[in-house]
Each structure stands twice: as structure tokens, then as C-alpha cells.
Amino acid sequence: MNINHHLDEATLFSYVAGSLSQGMALVVASHISICDSCRDRVFETEAIGGALLNEMVSDNSSDGSASVKVDETALEQVLACLDQEEPTISLDSSLSDGESDACSPGNTGEVPAPLSDYIGGSLDAVQWKRLSPGFYYFDVFKEQRGICRLLKVAPGKSILPHGHHGNELTLLLRGSYADEVGRFAQGDVADLDDQIEHQPLVDGNEDCICLVATDYPLRFTTLLGKVIQPITRF
């Protein structure tokens, strides 16, 4: 897969830190599962996390973490649990932790493994809801402030112009679109913040399907956009 648009360093860092919203983390995990270069960047960033963990509980700590102690009986309890554990070393188990079902029957190859945990392996099997002619959506799950949603937009259609109060992550799963930032095709991720206003236009011959996550509601810049925002819950 030829991927031209990647994750912002700040987004990737927050994903590794565990501080992204659930929806944004899902977009990031999905992109990383198909993008070798972003995956390598994650490995590097996780090494930073390991180094920071190493700094915990040392005489150099200036925040009181030096005094953190683990319950003295805890080790015995854990060891008792280990005695009840069955050996887990097998090919199956080595693939079970985060390993994909992207190769499983029914997966068309368009749905990254982390997303398939939520929607299954086929974009064509999604229970789309109609928003307006040429626009369909499916809420992957409800978010407190933002959205985590699949969008399907017909060729030649464009999203109403909008900006953002927070971050917006979009992963292209099928088709393509173009906007003020560039052209996005399968595997690309658009990583935008409150500095960007755009109006994506589906420019190919097929439906454009993407996974979109935000951590704040959008900021529509036209009257129509503002009017329909409560209905569409963008």
C-alpha cells in the first residue's frame, strides 16, 4: 500500500502515552497496523516510555515516587497465581495478542485489524445510516465529546466547509478525496487540528469510505453547516 500522509508526531506521542480519546486511538492503531513507517515511529516512542518508567522510584525522584512500595504480601499472591497458570507458549497464543484477523475469512483487506474488532471484516456489511443523499454514516461507538464514526460519501460530493475546535483524525479505507491539505487515498491519514479549515471533495469514481474521530465538535463555517450540526452530531 502506497501511503503518503502519516500521523503527526504529537498525535503519535499521545497515542503511546495512552492519552488519546478512545476514538482517536482507534484511528491511530488502525493506521499503524498498515503503515510500516508509523509503526517504526511508535516503537521509537515506546522506548521513550520505557526510559521514563525506568526513572520511576529512584533517589533522583523529586515528586515522592521514591517512597512507592509494593505490598509485601503481593509477590506471594502473584507467585501463587503463577502456579495455577498453564503454559501459554504456542503459535496460536503468540498471535493472539493484538494479532490481526485481517487475514481471516470474510475480511476484504480494507478493514485494519483494530477496526475489525468493532465492525467486522467487511465495509460492505456495515449497517449504514443515511444522512442525506450521497452521505452515509455508522457510529463505531459513542464518545463523550467527539465522534468515532465511519463515513461513506458518493463520488463528486463534498463535506460542508468546516474547521475544528480540537483534533480530527481521518483514515481513508476506500476511495479518495481532495481538500486544502492535499489528496488522500486508501491508507492515508489526515491529522488536523484547530488551525485547519477544509472542505473535502470525493474526487474518484467510487464511494469514499473513511474512519473519522474527533475530540471536540467540529466548527462549521457556513450557515447550513451550523443548522444541520445538531442533527448530524458532528
Partner 1 sequence: MVNVVPIRKNSMTATQSKAWSAMLAEMAVTKDKSLYIQLYQHFAPKVKAYIIRLGVMEATAEELTQEAMLNMWRKSHLFQPNKSAASTWLFTLARNQSIDWMRKQKYPEYSLDNMQDRIEEASDADIGEQTVQSERIAQAVSQLPENQAQVIYMSFYEGRSHSEIADRLMIPLGSVKSRIRLAAEKLKLTLRGEQ
Task: Please list every residue from 39 through 98 that binds partner 1, using CB under 8 A.
Answer: 39, 41-60, 65, 68-71, 74-79, 81-82, 85, 87-89, 93-95, 97-98
Q: How far is the CB of 139 from partner 1 (least distance, A)?
A: 15
Indicate whether 223 belongs to the interface with partner 1 (CB under 8 A): no
Residues 170-209 that bind partner 1 (CB under 8 A): 193-195
Q: How far is the CB of 155 from partner 1 (least distance, A)?
A: 29
Q: Give the cell for residue 96.
A: 493472539
CA 195 to chain centre: 20
Q: How far is the CB of 83 from partner 1 (least distance, A)?
A: 9
Closer CB to partner 1, 2 or 54, in the complex: 54
Closer CB to partner 1, 117 or 197, in the complex: 117
Q: Are 138 and 157 in contact (CB under 8 A)?
A: no
What is Dmax (Cα atoms) for the chain?
66
Q: How far is the CB of 63 from partner 1 (least distance, A)?
A: 8
Q: Are 41 and 12 in contact (CB under 8 A)?
A: yes
Q: Which of 7, 29, 208, 218 binds partner 1 (CB under 8 A)?
A: 29
Q: How far is the CB of 157 from partner 1 (least distance, A)?
A: 29
Q: Are 176 and 202 in contact (CB under 8 A)?
A: yes
Angstrom CA distances, 41 to 35, 47, 114, 155, stand at 10, 10, 18, 34
Q: Which of 7, 20, 147, 151 binds partner 1 (CB under 8 A)?
A: 20
Q: What is the DSSP letter of 187?
A: T
Closer CB to partner 1, 84 or 205, in the complex: 84
Q: Are 158 and 222 in contact (CB under 8 A)?
A: no
Up-side HSE of residue 73: CA atoms within 13 Å toward CB?
0
Q: Give the cell for residue 21.
A: 480519546
Closer CB to partner 1, 7 or 202, in the complex: 7
Closer CB to partner 1, 54 or 205, in the complex: 54
Q: Which of 7, 150, 167, 218 binds partner 1 (CB under 8 A)?
A: 167
Q: Give the cell for residue 79.
A: 507467585
Cα dihedral 180/199/171/192 (nearest 10): 60
Q: How far is the CB of 197 from partner 1 (least distance, A)?
A: 14
Indicate whether 124 belongs to the interface with partner 1 (CB under 8 A): no
Closer CB to partner 1, 55 or 206, in the complex: 55
Angstrom CA distances, 137 to 46, 92, 105, 133, 140, stand at 34, 35, 25, 12, 9
Indicate whether 107 belongs to the interface with partner 1 (CB under 8 A): no
